[in-house]
Protein backbone atom coordinates (compact mmCIF):
# COMPACT_ATOMS: atom_id res chain seq x y z
CA UNK A 1 0.00 0.00 0.00
CA UNK A 2 2.82 2.38 0.87
CA UNK A 3 4.53 1.70 -2.45
CA UNK A 4 1.33 2.45 -4.37
CA UNK A 5 1.03 5.79 -2.60
CA UNK A 6 4.66 6.63 -3.35
CA UNK A 7 4.26 5.66 -7.02
CA UNK A 8 1.08 7.73 -7.32
CA UNK A 9 2.80 10.70 -5.69
CA UNK A 10 5.80 10.40 -8.00
CA UNK A 11 3.52 10.22 -11.04
CA UNK A 12 1.75 13.41 -9.95
CA UNK A 13 5.07 15.20 -9.42
CA UNK A 14 6.31 14.06 -12.84
CA UNK A 15 3.09 15.16 -14.54
CA UNK A 16 3.29 18.53 -12.77
CA UNK A 17 6.86 19.06 -13.97
CA UNK A 18 5.92 18.11 -17.54
CA UNK A 19 2.95 20.51 -17.53
CA UNK A 20 5.13 23.31 -16.12
CA UNK A 21 7.80 22.78 -18.78
CA UNK A 22 5.16 22.71 -21.51
CA UNK A 23 3.65 25.97 -20.26
CA UNK A 24 7.11 27.57 -20.27
CA UNK A 25 7.61 26.31 -23.83
CA UNK A 26 4.30 27.87 -24.94
CA UNK A 27 5.18 31.21 -23.29
CA UNK A 28 8.59 31.26 -25.00
CA UNK A 29 6.98 30.33 -28.31
CA UNK A 30 4.44 33.15 -28.03
CA UNK A 31 7.22 35.58 -27.11
CA UNK A 32 9.42 34.55 -30.05
CA UNK A 33 6.61 34.48 -32.63
CA UNK A 34 4.79 37.56 -31.35
CA UNK A 35 5.54 39.52 -34.50
CA UNK A 36 4.35 36.69 -36.80
CA UNK A 37 0.73 36.08 -35.79
CA UNK A 38 -0.12 33.92 -38.81
CA UNK A 39 2.60 31.38 -37.98
CA UNK A 40 1.86 31.57 -34.25
CA UNK A 41 -1.81 30.80 -34.83
CA UNK A 42 -1.02 27.71 -36.91
CA UNK A 43 1.54 26.43 -34.42
CA UNK A 44 -0.75 26.91 -31.42
CA UNK A 45 -3.70 25.22 -33.17
CA UNK A 46 -1.45 22.30 -34.13
CA UNK A 47 -0.13 21.88 -30.59
CA UNK A 48 -3.65 22.11 -29.17
CA UNK A 49 -4.89 19.48 -31.60
CA UNK A 50 -2.06 17.15 -30.68
CA UNK A 51 -2.79 17.52 -26.97
CA UNK A 52 -6.52 16.92 -27.36
CA UNK A 53 -5.86 13.97 -29.64
CA UNK A 54 -3.38 12.46 -27.22
CA UNK A 55 -5.76 12.72 -24.26
CA UNK A 56 -8.82 11.57 -26.16
CA UNK A 57 -7.39 8.96 -28.47
CA UNK A 58 -4.49 7.50 -26.58
CA UNK A 59 -6.46 6.52 -23.52
CA UNK A 60 -6.49 9.17 -20.82
CA UNK A 61 -9.97 8.03 -19.82
CA UNK A 62 -9.05 4.37 -20.16
CA UNK A 63 -6.10 4.79 -17.82
CA UNK A 64 -8.29 6.49 -15.23
CA UNK A 65 -10.88 3.68 -15.43
CA UNK A 66 -8.21 0.99 -15.00
CA UNK A 67 -6.80 2.64 -11.88
CA UNK A 68 -10.07 2.26 -9.98
pLDDT digits over 4-57, tens only? Answer: 666 778 888 888 898 899 899 989 988 988 888 899 889 989 998 888 887 777
CA 9 to centroid of chain Cα atoms: 18
CA 6 to centroid of chain Cα atoms: 22
Q: Please give the Cα distance from 45 to 35 (Å, whole number).
A: 17
Q: Please give the Cα distance from 19 to 37 (Å, whole number).
A: 24
pTM of the model: 0.62
Helix (H, G, I), strand (E, B) or coil at 54: helix
Amino acid sequence: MEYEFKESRENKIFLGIVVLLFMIFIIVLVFLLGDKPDILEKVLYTIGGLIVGAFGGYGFGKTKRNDE
